[in-house]
């Protein structure tokens, strides 16, 4: 069965656009288009793909579990089997959808449930998987931010930037709903959905890797100096900040 065609036809039957589905499910339009054409190599893998499929199917009136079963039969049969705990946990992942007619308490409860599941998964992954090199974790063709050499890019910042400090301290304070995953000195320290008004501070001795789901909603500072934009809305990015290149991630004066 053509999963993408099933979802696309159901969406068209309801006269829903990609933009409308993206707004409700918080899935980027590029990922939804990739699902429509069965291009799952362009979609974040594993539990993210299954979460996207469930949310998409629900919004167009299809049975989410039937779509997941078809996806597993067609696209996951040749993949390395995952641990039973990971499979069970991933089945619980749901993409949070905001509907105008839902009570605010219900939406908040859904967000809390998703955050708890993601935290449990992050702790579990950290217990049996060693962190992979940065090149292996980047999403294919997403706009990963490559930091230029500090000597080639003089930067005037809104904070005071002198000699590299003995410790990197990154303060994360998103302006909108945003998925954030962080690794400090090779050790996973957080992986969760952050909401506007929340704040998280991460310290690292040598380097820190950030994976950001929505750069337009993401805001941060490094050692007290405001950070620059990491990319466009809905286009996930992965960046690595260390004591040699951190100044290139700071906001330029006057911007």
Task: Answer yes or no: is 255 within a domain.
Answer: no
Do 122 and 172 share a domain, yes or no?
Answer: no
C-beta neighbour count of 51 within 10 angstroms: 24
pTM > 0.95: yes or no: no
* DSSP 3-state of 57: helix
| Residues 6+ away with beta carbon under 8 Å from 34 | 40, 42, 43
Would you say residue 174 lies in a domain? Answer: yes
Q: Residue 136: which residues within 8 A CB-CB, separation 6 or more?
A: none
In three-state secondary structure terms, 228 is coil
- Of 83, 107, 127, at which residue does a domain stop? 127
The reply to whether 188 and 234 lie within a common domain is yes
Q: Is the same domain home to 117 and 14?
A: yes
Q: Report the alpha-carbon distance of residue 129 to residue 204 in Å, rounded.
A: 20
Domain enclosing residue 187, as ranges? 134-249
Say whether 170 sits in a helix, a strand or coil. strand
pLDDT at 11: 96
Q: Residue 103 CA to chain centroid, in angstroms?
A: 26
Residue 142 belongs to some domain of the structure: yes
pLDDT at 8: 95
Rg of the chain on CA atoms, in Å: 19
Residues 200 and 229 in one domain: yes
Residue 254 maps to a domain: no
Q: In which order are the strands placed within the sheet that holds 187-194?
A: 187-194, 178-184, 207-212, 237-242
Is 9 in the same domain as 117?
yes
Same domain, 147 and 52: no
φ, ψ for residue 206, nearest 5 deg:
-115, -55
* Residue at which a domain ends, from 79, 107, 127: 127
User: What is the reported pLDDT for 128?
Assistant: 52
Which residue stretches of the chain have pLDDT < 50? 78-94, 96-106, 131-140, 142, 144, 153-161
Helical (H) or strand (E) element with 68: helix 64-75
**Cβ neighbours of residue 201 closer than 8 Å, sequence gap 6 or more:** 169, 170, 171, 172
Domain count, the chain: 2
What count of residues does the chain have? 255
Q: Residue 126: what pLDDT?
A: 66
Q: Closest by alpha carbon to 211, among 153, 149, 131, 150? A: 131
The number of CA neighbours under 13 Å toward the Cβ of 144 is: 16
């Amino acid at each position: 069965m053509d999963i993408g065609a099933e979802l696309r036809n159901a969406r068209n039957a309801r006269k829903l656009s990609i933009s409308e589905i993206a707004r409700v499910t918080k899935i980027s339009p590029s990922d939804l288009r990739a699902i429509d054409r069965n291009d799952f190599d362009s979609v974040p893998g594993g539990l993210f793909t299954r979460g996207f499929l469930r949310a998409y199917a629900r919004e167009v009136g299809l049975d989410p579990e039937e779509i997941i079963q078809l996806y597993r039969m067609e696209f996951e049969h040749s993949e390395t089997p995952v641990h039973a705990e990971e499979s069970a946990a991933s089945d619980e992942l749901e993409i949070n959808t905001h509907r105008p007619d839902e009570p605010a308490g219900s939406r908040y409860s859904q967000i809390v449930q998703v955050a708890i599941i993601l935290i449990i998964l992050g702790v579990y992954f950290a217990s049996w998987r060693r962190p992979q090199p940065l090149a292996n974790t980047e999403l294919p063709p997403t706009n990963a931010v490559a930091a230029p050499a500090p000597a080639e890019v003089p930067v005037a910042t809104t904070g005071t930037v002198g000699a590299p400090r003995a410790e990197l301290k990154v303060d994360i304070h998103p302006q909108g709903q945003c998925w954030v995953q962080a690794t400090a000195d090779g050790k996973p320290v957080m992986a969760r959905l952050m909401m506007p008004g929340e704040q998280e501070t991460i310290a690292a001795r040598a380097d820190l890797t950030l994976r950001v789901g929505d750069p337009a909603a993401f805001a941060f500072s490094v050692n007290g100096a405001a950070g620059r934009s990491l990319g466009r809305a809905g286009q996930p990015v992965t960046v690595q900040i260390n004591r040699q290149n951190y100044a290139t991630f700071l906001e330029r004066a006057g911007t």
